[in-house]
Structure 1
């Protein structure tokens, strides 16, 4: 937090030198306003997130001539602290997330007590900085409580400590982002957080469902082509139990390199090519490998081509595409190849190492000619053993959560999302149904749990989606909110979620009502 203290101190000392000219604000698009990119007649690069853009609204919005109290302005229209000059902009906000809830029979009270803070700043039009920190205590619905206790993490929010005599959890997480754009052709970003590749609600390539991780990202744009190279460090939370030689340094680390080439073929069609390689920081005996500098080469597919030759590192390749079918309707899709042998794929025998996943979806805006009524539908399918490897030291996972889909592998899923905004009112509904093949015990591996080694597969052939303990999952959620302050998405929110999971071993129903005062632009994924 030292950097935050110094930044605030410098700003407070220099804020008196205010100029009349206002500088455009560099801010990231969020999941509420990214619709603007899809509705624009230009074909923007929308797949790689977060997306930074220049917000000039503060410069040109007609000032409110109504006399307002300081309390009214800060609660409804302004950041908690604002410093605007001709050289820089700085915004500091308090981010609460206070929730109270009940399960269907009233026997379990859920709650969340989050106190967060964020600072956002840009110096000139080339430099953007953001840092946030959240301190939390919470008690969760039964199915989430079971997941948290098993994995020792809150989904997307890191490790836990017992709280309230073990009945609840204490946890914290932080994010940071430092972006420099020396020219319109290049952006350099160093961060501690999440990234997302795709145009859907889910991503089968790289998702933002997991805990924060450090990364360095270079993005170049030339004409209709955008190219990104990213290096990241992940943690293998499974490994500490057997990593005696590495215990003093905490959990095992692993490294990842990602390349994404996004080409706007026309004003309607965009095609993106992707590759990733994951390699261990050290092996199970504690022998350290560290960062492999050969992966600093930013050329796409240069190293991933080796995965078919039996490379010891974990390589994936994939494609992302979108097509603007109508001015306000876009279809999109993804394809990921974790391992690929043409003979086996077309042989139709269900070879265990046919590890692929696919997505197909659509987004439509202002549906049925109703302004700001947006619909989204999506189908995801992932074959058994996809994203897994011989060891968690090298699988496609960070901090006990997949880098792709929260259901892991060996499933198909269909979901629909509807959202509507009217002035400061916001409503959202989601319906998701999935079928996956679970494991009847800890020793058996039918390819659903990506943390299990794939060489434990029961059979060489006859492996299909849904094999194992056939499980049906239904999840539905409705949310309505009134946005008090759009600057940092402070809102009063009520939601009702229903979840049902059923197989031959168990049948479980959860119905959860939540009410609270919330402030966040980040999504947390509890629909699994």
Structure 2
């Protein structure tokens, strides 16, 4: 609780000062190759809330004037099925993701994914899409170990054993969007969300598995205001009964984004996570959080609950047409007195981000770079129980490393005609737990089991350094479903005073879809 109520009042005053919006036209679902690159100019749209209904278009050398066979068009230019009329559009495609590779620590690796996607438009205002993926795969050792420890494939849900050393898993996504007039959009989905202008998000990211949500987006002038209600899964807390399955928890999120000028945008974020039931009986959805325009922290405080409230700030400054500085600040909990004392009190839980990105750098078309620093203090996002922590399906709702870390990530990518090049260098330091300790990295551990009351700092515990290098080259076959031939090389080195791990991975594949899956942890 502490000083959060006073900060909420300040955020409320700031929000009342805002007004303007023009809906995003170029925001889109992330590529699994490259990284999200919105235009830097803030005057025309809101880049920090990604529009998952719109898929980006590659600009390729055209040969539409030449007649092509049906096979050529379907393989290289179109969806497998495409139908259009005055008041409807429909498309459907097969999405393969076939990879084979080698890890110096886990032998032959492979992935066999058969996916399908279908979507379209009904009338002027209703759009939709749905995807389904059936997968079997054997992963590099560090991903294999993570999956066995958490019981989930990163970002793709629960698995079952396949051929003793591999995994079998399936998942689906779906989203319906209805545009109600000039100012409102309603979205009903089973998918992911992302708030921010960077590669990572310290507020809400698309790292974990899909979840059901209802989202309302209001656009007035320079303002975009979003409210979302979502239901999450807690795999760790004991089940209430076999029939009810995993325990559920609810989340509500408000995000107000203000394009102050062509160069400056500021976003104010608030969220609350609460458990579906407690010791007194079933609680279910709390109608106290139903009002979409109310600030969440005062409500959470007024009902005397133990809910987990977080608040944050997202900001961007575009100092040229194609370049921008951006950042985030996430506040989980703090006491002003403890902060000023500088004693490293465990309850000063916050994190942040500072980054720079540039499109078409050095005046080279489609050469893009990003450099970004992310950090979170120990115990940030954690709670007394996993039923209230900032996580879903055994993964964090924000940064994949959880808390008690600092990370520096650098990415560059380049497109020439149908060729794509991408390079990534990531350095991180984090503190791991040893037997019987809790130094604050694992957000699924109760903060009541903390090892230290004071003297907490980032990297405490078993201080570990991580180096992640990846280089990728791909040739695009079909821009409609991002089908491509791809070769990648990954080196991952993790070391501390107790052990050292080095893994070198080589992979080739025929890949498709616009999924963003994070294996850089």
Partner of 1:321: 315
Cα 1:359/1:158, change in 2 over 3 Å: same
Cα 1:198/1:54, change in 2 over 3 Å: closer
Q: CA deviation at 1:396?
A: 0.4
Q: SS of 2:383's equivalent? A: coil
Q: SS of 1:368's equivalent? A: helix
Distance (Å, rounded) in 2 between the aligned partners of 1:336 and 1:260: 13
Partner of 1:212: 210
Cα 1:514/1:133, change in 2 over 3 Å: same
Cα 1:275/1:168, change in 2 over 3 Å: same
- Asked if the contact 2:329–2:352 (Cα under 8 Å) also holds between the matched residues in 1, the reply is yes
Q: CA deviation at 1:341?
A: 1.6
Distance (Å, rounded) in 1 between the aligned partners of 2:54 and 2:143: 35
Say whether 1:359 aligns with 2:356.
no
Say whether 1:279 aligns with 2:259.
no
Describe the superposition over 1:220-253 as per-residue Cα deviations: whole angstroms up to 9, x where unpaired. Answer: 00000000000000000112xx33x333210000
Distance (Å, rounded) in 1 between the aligned partners of 2:321 and 2:266: 18
The 5 A counterparts of 1:38-49 are 38-39=39-40, 42-49=43-50
Describe the superposition over 1:128-164 as per-residue Cα deviations: whole angstroms up to 9, x where unpaired. Answer: 0111100000000001111111111100001001101
- Asked if the contact 1:246–1:252 (Cα under 8 Å) also holds between the matched residues in 2, the reply is no
Q: CA deviation at 1:294?
A: 1.1
Distance (Å, rounded) in 1 between the aligned partners of 2:138 and 2:265: 43
Q: SS of 2:243's equivalent? A: helix
- Asked if the contact 2:41–2:262 (Cα under 8 Å) also holds between the matched residues in 1, the reply is no
Say whether 1:257 aligns with 2:252.
yes
Q: SS of 1:360's equivalent? A: strand
Partner of 1:238: 236
Describe the superposition over 1:312-347 as per-residue Cα deviations: whole angstroms up to 9, x where unpaired. Answer: 100000000101011111110000000022111122
Partner of 1:186: 184
Say whether 1:481 aligns with 2:447.
no
Partner of 1:394: 388
Partner of 1:4: none
Distance (Å, rounded) in 2 between the aligned partners of 1:366 and 1:82: 33
Partner of 1:68: 68
Distance (Å, rounded) in 1 between the aligned partners of 2:468 and 2:301: 37
Q: Which has the higher contact order (CA 8 A, sep 6+)?
A: 2
- Asked if the contact 1:307–1:315 (Cα under 8 Å) also holds between the matched residues in 2, the reply is no
Partner of 2:80: 80
Distance (Å, rounded) in 2 between the aligned partners of 1:358 and 1:99: 35
Q: CA deviation at 1:288?
A: 1.5
Q: CA deviation at 1:104?
A: 2.9
Distance (Å, rounded) in 1 between the aligned partners of 2:121 and 2:63: 22
- Asked if the contact 1:275–1:304 (Cα under 8 Å) also holds between the matched residues in 2, the reply is no
Structure 1: which 5+ residue stretches go unaligned? 1-25
Q: SS of 1:49's equivalent? A: coil
Distance (Å, rounded) in 2 between the aligned partners of 1:57 and 1:184: 28
Partner of 2:22: none
Q: CA deviation at 1:63?
A: 7.8
Q: CA deviation at 1:29?
A: 1.2
Q: SS of 1:249's equivalent? A: coil
- Asked if the contact 2:429–2:463 (Cα under 8 Å) also holds between the matched residues in 1, the reply is yes
Q: SS of 1:75's equivalent? A: helix
Cα 1:509/1:387, change in 2 over 3 Å: same
Q: SS of 1:146's equivalent? A: helix
Distance (Å, rounded) in 2 between the aligned partners of 1:65 and 1:326: 37
- Asked if the contact 2:203–2:330 (Cα under 8 Å) also holds between the matched residues in 1, the reply is yes
- Residue correspondences, number: 494
Cα 1:64/1:342, change in 2 over 3 Å: same
Say whether 1:141 aligns with 2:136.
no
The 5 A counterparts of 1:371-410 are 371-410=365-404
Distance (Å, rounded) in 2 between the aligned partners of 1:316 and 1:56: 36
Once the two structures are overlaid, the 10-residue window that deviates more, 302-311 or 221-230, is 302-311
Q: CA deviation at 1:30?
A: 2.5
The 5 A counterparts of 1:297-446 are 297-304=291-298, 306=300, 311-441=305-435, 443-446=436-439
Distance (Å, rounded) in 2 between the aligned partners of 1:308 and 1:296: 15
Q: SS of 1:352's equivalent? A: coil
- Asked if the contact 1:211–1:399 (Cα under 8 Å) also holds between the matched residues in 2, the reply is yes
Partner of 1:100: 100
- Asked if the contact 1:50–1:196 (Cα under 8 Å) also holds between the matched residues in 2, the reply is no
Cα 1:426/1:190, change in 2 over 3 Å: same
Q: CA deviation at 1:287?
A: 2.7
Describe the superposition over 1:91-124 as per-residue Cα deviations: whole angstroms up to 9, x where unpaired. Answer: 000000000010136x610000000001011112
- Asked if the contact 1:260–1:300 (Cα under 8 Å) also holds between the matched residues in 2, the reply is no
Cα 1:430/1:55, change in 2 over 3 Å: closer
Say whether 1:168 aligns with 2:166.
yes
Partner of 1:124: 123
Distance (Å, rounded) in 2 between the aligned partners of 1:54 and 1:103: 33
Say whether 1:493 aligns with 2:494.
no
Q: SS of 2:289's equivalent? A: helix
The 5 A counterparts of 1:18-33 are 29-32=28-31
What is the aligned counterpart of 1:460 among 444, 449, 453?
453
Q: CA deviation at 1:301?
A: 2.4
Structure 2: which 5+ residue stretches go unaligned? 1-24
Partner of 1:7: none
Q: CA deviation at 1:71?
A: 0.6
If the length of structure 2 is used for normalisation, what is the TM-score? 0.91
Instruction: Output the aligned Cα RMSD.
Output: 2.2
Q: SS of 2:149's equivalent? A: helix
Cα 1:514/1:157, change in 2 over 3 Å: same
Distance (Å, rounded) in 2 between the aligned partners of 1:40 and 1:459: 45
Q: SS of 1:263's equivalent? A: strand
Partner of 1:90: 90
Partner of 1:114: 113
Partner of 2:8: none
